[in-house]
A and B are shown apart, each in its own frame.
Chain A
Amino acid sequence: MAKVSGASVKTIVVACEAGMGSSVMVAKMLAKQLKPQGITVTHSPVNQLATTEHDIVLCHRGLSGRAKQAVPDSVVIAFDMFLGDLIIARLVSALQEGQDISDD
Protein backbone atom coordinates (compact mmCIF):
# COMPACT_ATOMS: atom_id res chain seq x y z
CA MET A 1 0.00 0.00 0.00
CA ALA A 2 1.16 3.49 -0.80
CA LYS A 3 2.46 5.69 2.01
CA VAL A 4 3.69 9.26 2.27
CA SER A 5 5.09 11.41 5.07
CA GLY A 6 2.68 14.18 6.01
CA ALA A 7 5.51 16.69 6.36
CA SER A 8 6.64 16.19 2.75
CA VAL A 9 3.20 16.66 1.16
CA LYS A 10 3.13 19.68 -1.14
CA THR A 11 0.16 19.00 -3.42
CA ILE A 12 -3.16 17.26 -2.91
CA VAL A 13 -5.47 16.62 -5.83
CA VAL A 14 -9.19 16.10 -5.34
CA ALA A 15 -10.70 13.96 -8.09
CA CYS A 16 -14.25 13.63 -9.33
CA GLU A 17 -15.85 12.36 -12.49
CA ALA A 18 -15.75 15.58 -14.52
CA GLY A 19 -13.17 17.47 -12.48
CA MET A 20 -15.44 20.50 -12.57
CA GLY A 21 -18.11 20.11 -9.89
CA SER A 22 -17.78 18.36 -6.58
CA SER A 23 -13.98 18.10 -6.69
CA VAL A 24 -13.66 21.87 -7.11
CA MET A 25 -15.87 22.40 -4.09
CA VAL A 26 -13.97 19.97 -1.84
CA ALA A 27 -10.62 21.32 -3.08
CA LYS A 28 -11.62 24.87 -2.21
CA MET A 29 -12.68 23.96 1.31
CA LEU A 30 -9.54 21.91 1.88
CA ALA A 31 -7.24 24.60 0.46
CA LYS A 32 -8.49 27.03 3.08
CA GLN A 33 -7.72 24.59 5.90
CA LEU A 34 -4.27 23.66 4.60
CA LYS A 35 -3.05 27.12 3.66
CA PRO A 36 -0.87 27.48 6.80
CA GLN A 37 0.97 24.27 5.83
CA GLY A 38 1.74 25.68 2.37
CA ILE A 39 -0.04 22.75 0.72
CA THR A 40 -1.59 23.34 -2.69
CA VAL A 41 -4.95 21.69 -3.35
CA THR A 42 -5.97 21.17 -6.96
CA HIS A 43 -8.76 19.27 -8.72
CA SER A 44 -8.88 16.88 -11.65
CA PRO A 45 -11.12 14.44 -13.53
CA VAL A 46 -10.43 10.95 -12.24
CA ASN A 47 -9.30 9.71 -15.68
CA GLN A 48 -6.60 12.38 -15.90
CA LEU A 49 -4.99 11.76 -12.52
CA ALA A 50 -1.91 10.20 -14.08
CA THR A 51 -0.94 13.50 -15.68
CA THR A 52 -1.75 15.65 -12.63
CA GLU A 53 1.01 16.46 -10.19
CA HIS A 54 0.16 15.30 -6.66
CA ASP A 55 1.39 13.71 -3.43
CA ILE A 56 -2.03 12.55 -2.25
CA VAL A 57 -5.27 11.83 -4.13
CA LEU A 58 -8.60 12.44 -2.43
CA CYS A 59 -11.89 11.28 -3.91
CA HIS A 60 -15.31 9.90 -3.07
CA ARG A 61 -15.35 6.20 -2.22
CA GLY A 62 -17.51 5.50 -5.27
CA LEU A 63 -14.62 6.57 -7.51
CA SER A 64 -11.68 5.33 -5.44
CA GLY A 65 -11.32 2.07 -7.37
CA ARG A 66 -10.81 3.97 -10.58
CA ALA A 67 -8.47 6.48 -8.93
CA LYS A 68 -6.29 3.68 -7.61
CA GLN A 69 -6.28 2.11 -11.05
CA ALA A 70 -5.16 5.41 -12.63
CA VAL A 71 -2.35 6.03 -10.13
CA PRO A 72 -1.54 2.70 -8.39
CA ASP A 73 1.53 4.07 -6.58
CA SER A 74 -0.14 7.12 -5.07
CA VAL A 75 -1.85 7.44 -1.73
CA VAL A 76 -5.56 7.44 -2.56
CA ILE A 77 -7.82 8.48 0.27
CA ALA A 78 -11.54 7.85 -0.07
CA PHE A 79 -14.18 9.85 1.75
CA ASP A 80 -17.93 9.28 2.06
CA MET A 81 -19.51 12.68 2.61
CA PHE A 82 -18.80 15.86 0.69
CA LEU A 83 -19.45 17.96 3.78
CA GLY A 84 -18.19 17.29 7.29
CA ASP A 85 -16.51 13.93 6.64
CA LEU A 86 -14.37 12.60 9.50
CA ILE A 87 -11.90 11.06 7.07
CA ILE A 88 -11.12 14.46 5.59
CA ALA A 89 -10.85 15.99 9.07
CA ARG A 90 -8.40 13.24 10.02
CA LEU A 91 -6.34 13.82 6.91
CA VAL A 92 -6.11 17.53 7.72
CA SER A 93 -4.93 16.91 11.27
CA ALA A 94 -2.44 14.27 10.11
CA LEU A 95 -1.00 16.81 7.67
CA GLN A 96 -0.92 19.55 10.29
CA GLU A 97 1.02 17.32 12.64
CA GLY A 98 3.26 15.90 9.90
CA GLN A 99 2.25 12.27 10.56
CA ASP A 100 2.72 9.49 8.02
CA ILE A 101 -0.28 8.98 5.80
CA SER A 102 -1.12 5.73 4.09
CA ASP A 103 -4.16 4.34 2.37
CA ASP A 104 -4.10 0.87 3.91
Chain B
Amino acid sequence: MANFIPTMDSGQKGWRASLQKFGGNLAGMVIPNIGAFIAWGLLTALFIPTGWLPNEDLAQMVGPMIVNLLPILIAYTGGRLVHGQRGSVIASIATVGVIVGTDVPMFLGAMIIGPLAAWVLKQIDKALDPKVPAGFEMLVSNFSLGISGLLLAILGYWGIGPAVNGITDVLGSGIKVLVDAGLLPLVSILIEPAKVLFLNNAINFGVLAPLGVIDVQTAGKSIMFMIESNPGPGLGLLLAFWLAGPKALRGSAPGAIIIHFLGGIHEIYFPYVLLKPQTIIAMIAGGATGVAVFLATGVGLVATPSPGSIFAWMAMTPPGDHLGVLLGIFMAAAVSFTVAFFILRLSKDDATASDLAGAKAKSSEMKTGETQ
Protein backbone atom coordinates (compact mmCIF):
# COMPACT_ATOMS: atom_id res chain seq x y z
CA MET B 1 0.00 0.00 0.00
CA ALA B 2 1.32 3.37 -0.98
CA ASN B 3 1.52 5.93 1.75
CA PHE B 4 0.80 9.57 1.16
CA ILE B 5 1.21 12.54 3.41
CA PRO B 6 -2.16 13.29 5.04
CA THR B 7 -4.17 16.18 3.71
CA MET B 8 -4.48 17.94 7.07
CA ASP B 9 -8.22 17.77 7.61
CA SER B 10 -8.10 20.22 10.44
CA GLY B 11 -7.07 22.87 7.94
CA GLN B 12 -10.50 22.92 6.35
CA LYS B 13 -11.97 24.87 9.25
CA GLY B 14 -9.10 27.36 9.34
CA TRP B 15 -9.52 31.03 8.55
CA ARG B 16 -7.39 30.59 5.49
CA ALA B 17 -9.64 27.98 3.94
CA SER B 18 -12.68 30.19 4.44
CA LEU B 19 -10.92 33.26 3.09
CA GLN B 20 -9.70 31.24 0.12
CA LYS B 21 -13.18 29.92 -0.44
CA PHE B 22 -14.69 33.40 -0.40
CA GLY B 23 -11.97 34.68 -2.69
CA GLY B 24 -12.33 31.62 -4.88
CA ASN B 25 -15.99 32.38 -5.36
CA LEU B 26 -15.21 35.97 -6.37
CA ALA B 27 -12.59 34.78 -8.81
CA GLY B 28 -14.88 31.99 -10.00
CA MET B 29 -17.32 34.63 -11.26
CA VAL B 30 -14.65 36.53 -13.19
CA ILE B 31 -12.19 33.97 -14.53
CA PRO B 32 -14.56 32.13 -16.90
CA ASN B 33 -15.23 35.53 -18.52
CA ILE B 34 -11.62 36.57 -19.08
CA GLY B 35 -12.07 36.12 -22.83
CA ALA B 36 -14.63 38.94 -22.79
CA PHE B 37 -12.24 41.12 -20.79
CA ILE B 38 -9.55 40.52 -23.39
CA ALA B 39 -11.90 41.39 -26.26
CA TRP B 40 -12.77 44.61 -24.45
CA GLY B 41 -9.13 45.32 -23.57
CA LEU B 42 -7.95 44.87 -27.16
CA LEU B 43 -10.86 46.93 -28.49
CA THR B 44 -9.89 49.70 -26.08
CA ALA B 45 -6.18 49.50 -26.91
CA LEU B 46 -6.89 49.66 -30.64
CA PHE B 47 -9.72 52.10 -31.20
CA ILE B 48 -9.91 54.74 -28.45
CA PRO B 49 -8.55 58.18 -29.45
CA THR B 50 -5.14 57.44 -27.87
CA GLY B 51 -5.02 53.86 -29.23
CA TRP B 52 -3.10 52.20 -32.05
CA LEU B 53 -5.81 52.71 -34.71
CA PRO B 54 -8.16 55.42 -33.45
CA ASN B 55 -11.64 54.85 -34.87
CA GLU B 56 -14.64 56.72 -33.54
CA ASP B 57 -17.24 54.30 -34.89
CA LEU B 58 -15.70 51.12 -33.54
CA ALA B 59 -14.79 52.83 -30.24
CA GLN B 60 -18.53 53.11 -29.54
CA MET B 61 -18.43 49.46 -28.45
CA VAL B 62 -16.01 50.16 -25.61
CA GLY B 63 -18.54 51.77 -23.24
CA PRO B 64 -21.44 49.32 -23.55
CA MET B 65 -19.08 46.36 -23.13
CA ILE B 66 -17.53 47.56 -19.89
CA VAL B 67 -20.68 49.07 -18.42
CA ASN B 68 -23.23 46.44 -19.43
CA LEU B 69 -21.75 43.26 -20.88
CA LEU B 70 -18.97 42.50 -18.40
CA PRO B 71 -20.98 43.04 -15.17
CA ILE B 72 -23.89 41.01 -16.57
CA LEU B 73 -21.52 38.18 -17.54
CA ILE B 74 -20.01 38.23 -14.04
CA ALA B 75 -23.43 38.13 -12.38
CA TYR B 76 -24.61 35.44 -14.82
CA THR B 77 -21.67 33.24 -13.90
CA GLY B 78 -22.12 33.91 -10.19
CA GLY B 79 -25.81 33.06 -10.46
CA ARG B 80 -25.00 29.82 -12.22
CA LEU B 81 -22.66 28.75 -9.42
CA VAL B 82 -25.49 29.17 -6.91
CA HIS B 83 -28.59 27.99 -8.78
CA GLY B 84 -27.83 26.75 -12.30
CA GLN B 85 -29.47 28.22 -15.39
CA ARG B 86 -32.35 29.83 -13.49
CA GLY B 87 -29.82 31.41 -11.16
CA SER B 88 -27.98 32.86 -14.16
CA VAL B 89 -31.14 34.39 -15.59
CA ILE B 90 -32.32 36.08 -12.41
CA ALA B 91 -28.78 37.29 -11.64
CA SER B 92 -28.61 38.98 -15.03
CA ILE B 93 -32.00 40.65 -14.60
CA ALA B 94 -31.15 41.96 -11.14
CA THR B 95 -27.75 43.27 -12.26
CA VAL B 96 -29.35 45.62 -14.77
CA GLY B 97 -30.87 47.44 -11.80
CA VAL B 98 -27.42 47.89 -10.26
CA ILE B 99 -25.87 48.99 -13.56
CA VAL B 100 -28.33 51.76 -14.41
CA GLY B 101 -28.29 52.94 -10.79
CA THR B 102 -24.70 54.20 -11.12
CA ASP B 103 -22.22 55.56 -13.63
CA VAL B 104 -19.16 53.42 -12.81
CA PRO B 105 -18.64 49.85 -14.10
CA MET B 106 -20.47 47.76 -11.50
CA PHE B 107 -18.18 44.78 -11.03
CA LEU B 108 -18.46 44.67 -7.25
CA GLY B 109 -22.21 45.24 -7.45
CA ALA B 110 -22.55 42.38 -9.93
CA MET B 111 -20.53 40.11 -7.66
CA ILE B 112 -22.93 40.87 -4.81
CA ILE B 113 -26.31 40.87 -6.49
CA GLY B 114 -25.62 37.96 -8.87
CA PRO B 115 -25.21 35.23 -6.25
CA LEU B 116 -27.73 36.96 -3.95
CA ALA B 117 -30.48 36.97 -6.59
CA ALA B 118 -29.78 33.32 -7.44
CA TRP B 119 -29.91 32.40 -3.77
CA VAL B 120 -33.26 34.17 -3.31
CA LEU B 121 -34.70 32.32 -6.30
CA LYS B 122 -33.35 29.05 -4.94
CA GLN B 123 -35.28 29.62 -1.70
CA ILE B 124 -38.43 30.58 -3.63
CA ASP B 125 -38.17 27.47 -5.81
CA LYS B 126 -37.69 25.30 -2.75
CA ALA B 127 -40.81 26.73 -1.14
CA LEU B 128 -43.01 26.60 -4.26
CA ASP B 129 -41.96 23.28 -5.82
CA PRO B 130 -43.94 20.95 -3.55
CA LYS B 131 -47.09 23.07 -3.83
CA VAL B 132 -47.38 23.46 -7.60
CA PRO B 133 -50.24 21.39 -9.10
CA ALA B 134 -49.37 19.13 -12.05
CA GLY B 135 -49.38 20.97 -15.36
CA PHE B 136 -48.70 24.38 -13.83
CA GLU B 137 -44.95 23.94 -13.38
CA MET B 138 -43.94 26.03 -16.36
CA LEU B 139 -46.38 28.82 -15.61
CA VAL B 140 -45.26 29.04 -12.00
CA SER B 141 -41.54 28.78 -12.69
CA ASN B 142 -41.58 31.44 -15.40
CA PHE B 143 -43.61 33.92 -13.39
CA SER B 144 -41.80 33.29 -10.10
CA LEU B 145 -38.52 34.07 -11.87
CA GLY B 146 -39.94 37.04 -13.75
CA ILE B 147 -41.58 38.69 -10.75
CA SER B 148 -38.75 38.10 -8.28
CA GLY B 149 -36.26 39.23 -10.95
CA LEU B 150 -38.14 42.50 -11.33
CA LEU B 151 -38.19 43.07 -7.58
CA LEU B 152 -34.50 42.29 -7.23
CA ALA B 153 -33.65 44.67 -10.07
CA ILE B 154 -35.49 47.41 -8.18
CA LEU B 155 -33.61 46.47 -5.00
CA GLY B 156 -30.38 46.68 -6.99
CA TYR B 157 -31.28 50.10 -8.36
CA TRP B 158 -32.25 51.65 -5.04
CA GLY B 159 -30.16 49.64 -2.57
CA ILE B 160 -27.09 47.84 -3.85
CA GLY B 161 -26.06 50.22 -6.62
CA PRO B 162 -25.72 53.32 -4.42
CA ALA B 163 -24.13 51.31 -1.58
CA VAL B 164 -21.47 49.82 -3.85
CA ASN B 165 -20.93 53.20 -5.44
CA GLY B 166 -20.08 54.51 -1.97
CA ILE B 167 -17.71 51.63 -1.26
CA THR B 168 -15.98 52.08 -4.62
CA ASP B 169 -15.60 55.81 -3.96
CA VAL B 170 -13.98 55.17 -0.59
CA LEU B 171 -11.63 52.48 -1.97
CA GLY B 172 -10.84 54.61 -5.00
CA SER B 173 -10.01 57.71 -2.97
CA GLY B 174 -7.98 55.62 -0.51
CA ILE B 175 -5.88 54.37 -3.38
CA LYS B 176 -5.65 57.87 -4.85
CA VAL B 177 -4.17 59.03 -1.53
CA LEU B 178 -1.60 56.21 -1.71
CA VAL B 179 -0.75 57.04 -5.33
CA ASP B 180 -0.45 60.77 -4.67
CA ALA B 181 1.76 60.19 -1.63
CA GLY B 182 3.93 57.77 -3.63
CA LEU B 183 3.09 55.00 -1.15
CA LEU B 184 1.45 52.60 -3.60
CA PRO B 185 4.51 50.28 -3.64
CA LEU B 186 3.76 49.52 0.02
CA VAL B 187 0.69 47.49 -0.95
CA SER B 188 3.14 44.79 -2.04
CA ILE B 189 3.70 44.09 1.66
CA LEU B 190 0.13 42.81 1.80
CA ILE B 191 -0.26 41.47 -1.70
CA GLU B 192 2.82 39.28 -2.13
CA PRO B 193 2.25 37.12 0.99
CA ALA B 194 -1.47 36.83 0.24
CA LYS B 195 -0.62 35.78 -3.29
CA VAL B 196 1.47 32.76 -2.31
CA LEU B 197 -1.31 31.64 0.04
CA PHE B 198 -3.35 31.08 -3.13
CA LEU B 199 -5.35 34.28 -2.71
CA ASN B 200 -3.89 35.55 -5.97
CA ASN B 201 -7.05 35.34 -8.06
CA ALA B 202 -9.23 36.76 -5.32
CA ILE B 203 -7.01 39.84 -5.01
CA ASN B 204 -6.52 40.43 -8.69
CA PHE B 205 -10.01 39.78 -9.99
CA GLY B 206 -11.99 40.54 -6.85
CA VAL B 207 -10.35 43.80 -5.78
CA LEU B 208 -7.78 45.25 -8.17
CA ALA B 209 -9.46 44.64 -11.54
CA PRO B 210 -12.74 46.37 -10.57
CA LEU B 211 -10.75 49.42 -9.45
CA GLY B 212 -8.64 49.28 -12.60
CA VAL B 213 -11.55 49.42 -15.02
CA ILE B 214 -12.72 52.65 -13.39
CA ASP B 215 -9.29 54.16 -14.07
CA VAL B 216 -9.44 52.98 -17.66
CA GLN B 217 -12.69 54.85 -18.24
CA THR B 218 -11.06 58.13 -17.28
CA ALA B 219 -7.37 57.65 -18.08
CA GLY B 220 -7.41 54.91 -20.73
CA LYS B 221 -5.11 52.72 -18.62
CA SER B 222 -4.49 51.66 -15.03
CA ILE B 223 -1.68 50.60 -12.74
CA MET B 224 -4.14 48.46 -10.73
CA PHE B 225 -3.84 45.65 -13.26
CA MET B 226 -0.06 45.53 -12.74
CA ILE B 227 0.22 45.14 -8.98
CA GLU B 228 -0.59 41.46 -8.58
CA SER B 229 0.05 40.12 -12.06
CA ASN B 230 3.64 41.35 -12.61
CA PRO B 231 5.63 38.27 -13.73
CA GLY B 232 8.93 39.94 -12.76
CA PRO B 233 9.22 39.07 -9.04
CA GLY B 234 8.46 35.39 -9.64
CA LEU B 235 11.01 35.28 -12.45
CA GLY B 236 13.72 36.64 -10.14
CA LEU B 237 12.81 34.20 -7.39
CA LEU B 238 12.93 31.17 -9.66
CA LEU B 239 16.26 32.27 -11.15
CA ALA B 240 17.66 32.53 -7.61
CA PHE B 241 16.38 29.04 -6.78
CA TRP B 242 17.92 27.73 -9.97
CA LEU B 243 21.36 29.13 -9.10
CA ALA B 244 21.40 29.03 -5.29
CA GLY B 245 18.43 26.98 -4.09
CA PRO B 246 18.47 23.66 -2.26
CA LYS B 247 19.73 20.95 -4.61
CA ALA B 248 16.40 19.11 -4.61
CA LEU B 249 14.64 22.16 -6.00
CA ARG B 250 17.17 23.33 -8.58
CA GLY B 251 16.25 20.82 -11.27
CA SER B 252 12.66 21.95 -11.60
CA ALA B 253 13.39 25.69 -11.62
CA PRO B 254 14.11 26.19 -15.36
CA GLY B 255 10.86 24.48 -16.35
CA ALA B 256 9.04 26.53 -13.74
CA ILE B 257 10.53 29.74 -15.18
CA ILE B 258 9.09 29.00 -18.62
CA ILE B 259 5.67 28.10 -17.24
CA HIS B 260 5.63 31.15 -14.99
CA PHE B 261 7.08 33.90 -17.17
CA LEU B 262 5.91 32.84 -20.62
CA GLY B 263 2.85 30.78 -19.69
CA GLY B 264 1.72 33.12 -16.94
CA ILE B 265 0.85 30.45 -14.38
CA HIS B 266 2.15 32.13 -11.22
CA GLU B 267 0.98 29.28 -8.97
CA ILE B 268 4.07 27.39 -10.03
CA TYR B 269 6.38 29.54 -7.90
CA PHE B 270 4.22 29.59 -4.76
CA PRO B 271 5.57 26.25 -3.46
CA TYR B 272 9.14 27.52 -3.66
CA VAL B 273 8.25 30.44 -1.39
CA LEU B 274 6.28 28.20 0.95
CA LEU B 275 9.23 25.83 1.30
CA LYS B 276 11.59 28.73 2.06
CA PRO B 277 9.30 31.29 3.73
CA GLN B 278 12.10 33.84 4.19
CA THR B 279 12.09 34.40 0.43
CA ILE B 280 8.77 36.25 0.79
CA ILE B 281 10.97 39.25 1.57
CA ALA B 282 12.41 38.97 -1.93
CA MET B 283 8.90 38.84 -3.40
CA ILE B 284 7.80 41.93 -1.48
CA ALA B 285 10.94 43.84 -2.47
CA GLY B 286 10.54 42.82 -6.12
CA GLY B 287 6.82 43.58 -6.20
CA ALA B 288 7.30 47.00 -4.58
CA THR B 289 10.12 47.83 -7.01
CA GLY B 290 7.90 46.98 -9.96
CA VAL B 291 5.06 49.16 -8.69
CA ALA B 292 7.48 52.02 -7.98
CA VAL B 293 8.88 51.89 -11.52
CA PHE B 294 5.40 51.73 -13.08
CA LEU B 295 4.37 54.69 -10.95
CA ALA B 296 7.50 56.70 -11.76
CA THR B 297 7.24 56.11 -15.50
CA GLY B 298 3.48 56.71 -15.45
CA VAL B 299 2.61 53.54 -17.35
CA GLY B 300 -0.51 51.39 -17.13
CA LEU B 301 -2.29 48.50 -18.82
CA VAL B 302 -5.63 48.74 -20.62
CA ALA B 303 -7.14 45.58 -19.11
CA THR B 304 -6.21 42.85 -16.69
CA PRO B 305 -3.54 40.63 -18.24
CA SER B 306 -4.63 37.08 -17.65
CA PRO B 307 -2.76 34.85 -17.29
CA GLY B 308 0.08 37.01 -15.95
CA SER B 309 2.44 36.14 -18.78
CA ILE B 310 4.89 38.51 -20.46
CA PHE B 311 2.91 38.01 -23.69
CA ALA B 312 -0.42 39.00 -22.10
CA TRP B 313 1.32 42.01 -20.55
CA MET B 314 2.69 43.18 -23.89
CA ALA B 315 -0.71 42.76 -25.55
CA MET B 316 -2.41 44.87 -22.86
CA THR B 317 0.16 47.69 -22.93
CA PRO B 318 -1.06 50.88 -24.63
CA PRO B 319 1.10 52.64 -27.27
CA GLY B 320 4.18 54.32 -25.84
CA ASP B 321 4.17 52.49 -22.52
CA HIS B 322 6.16 49.41 -23.49
CA LEU B 323 9.50 50.71 -22.32
CA GLY B 324 8.28 51.61 -18.82
CA VAL B 325 6.38 48.35 -18.52
CA LEU B 326 9.39 46.24 -19.51
CA LEU B 327 11.64 48.27 -17.24
CA GLY B 328 9.29 47.63 -14.29
CA ILE B 329 9.15 43.91 -14.97
CA PHE B 330 12.91 43.55 -15.25
CA MET B 331 13.72 45.80 -12.29
CA ALA B 332 11.28 43.74 -10.20
CA ALA B 333 12.96 40.54 -11.38
CA ALA B 334 16.44 41.92 -10.67
CA VAL B 335 15.55 43.01 -7.14
CA SER B 336 13.72 39.81 -6.17
CA PHE B 337 16.57 37.77 -7.68
CA THR B 338 19.22 39.62 -5.70
CA VAL B 339 17.37 39.44 -2.39
CA ALA B 340 16.35 35.79 -2.85
CA PHE B 341 19.87 34.86 -3.92
CA PHE B 342 21.34 36.23 -0.68
CA ILE B 343 18.64 34.68 1.47
CA LEU B 344 19.23 31.29 -0.12
CA ARG B 345 23.02 31.57 0.19
CA LEU B 346 22.85 32.63 3.84
CA SER B 347 20.45 29.87 4.81
CA LYS B 348 22.38 27.24 2.90
CA ASP B 349 23.75 25.50 5.97
CA ASP B 350 20.34 24.55 7.25
CA ALA B 351 18.96 23.72 3.83
CA THR B 352 20.43 20.29 3.26
CA ALA B 353 18.24 17.66 1.68
CA SER B 354 17.44 16.03 5.00
CA ASP B 355 16.03 19.27 6.35
CA LEU B 356 13.86 19.71 3.32
CA ALA B 357 11.29 17.23 4.59
CA GLY B 358 11.06 19.12 7.85
CA ALA B 359 10.66 22.42 6.05
CA LYS B 360 7.96 20.87 3.93
CA ALA B 361 5.99 19.65 6.91
CA LYS B 362 6.36 22.99 8.62
CA SER B 363 5.20 24.98 5.63
CA SER B 364 2.24 22.69 5.03
CA GLU B 365 1.19 23.17 8.62
CA MET B 366 1.34 26.89 8.09
CA LYS B 367 -0.44 26.68 4.77
CA THR B 368 -3.46 24.79 5.96
CA GLY B 369 -3.89 27.24 8.78
CA GLU B 370 -3.57 24.46 11.34
CA THR B 371 -1.52 26.47 13.75
CA GLN B 372 -4.08 29.24 13.88
Contacts and interface: CB of A to CB of B under 8 A. Distances in A.
Nearest to B275: A80
Interface residues of B, number: 47
Contact of A66 (B12, B263, B270, B271): B12
Given A18-B31, A46-B24, A47-B28, A64 B7 contact: yes
A84 B253 CA distance: 10
Given A25-B265, A80-B271, A84-B251, A102 B4 contact: yes
A63 B23 CA distance: 12
Interface in B2-48: 2, 4-12, 14, 17, 20-21, 24-25, 27-28, 31-32
A83 B255 contact: yes
B119 interface: no
Nearest to B202: A17
Contacts of B8: 61, 64-65, 78
B189 interface: no
Contacts, number: 130
A64 B364 CA distance: 10
Interface string A29-64: 000000000000000011100000000000011111
Given A60-B198, A61-B364, A66 B7 contact: no
B7 A20 contact: no
Q: Is the interface of B mostly helix, strand, loop or mixed?
A: helix
A18 B274 contact: no
Contact of A82 (B21, B25, B268): B268
B361 to A, nearest CB: 10
B360 interface: yes
Interface string A2-43: 000010000000001110111001000000000000000000
B82 to A, nearest CB: 11
Contact of B368 (A1, A65, A76, A93): A65
Contact of A104 (B6, B25, B259, B368): B6
A101 B256 CA distance: 28
Nearest to B7: A64
Contacts of A78: 4-5, 7-8, 364
Given A81-B271, A84-B251, 19 more contacts: A6-B2, A17-B201, A17-B267, A18-B28, A47-B21, A47-B24, A47-B28, A61-B364, A64-B11, A65-B10, A66-B24, A69-B17, A77-B4, A78-B7, A78-B8, A81-B252, A82-B271, A84-B255, A87-B5
Interface of B: 1-2, 4-12, 14, 17, 20-21, 24-25, 27-28, 31-32, 81, 197-198, 200-201, 249, 251-252, 255-256, 259, 263-265, 267-268, 270-271, 274-275, 307, 360, 364, 367-369
10 contacts: A47-B21, A47-B81, A60-B267, A61-B8, A62-B197, A68-B12, A80-B274, A82-B268, A87-B4, A87-B5
Q: Which 10 A-B pairs have the closest CB atoms?
A: A65-B11, A94-B2, A65-B12, A83-B252, A64-B7, A22-B267, A84-B252, A69-B12, A18-B31, A65-B17
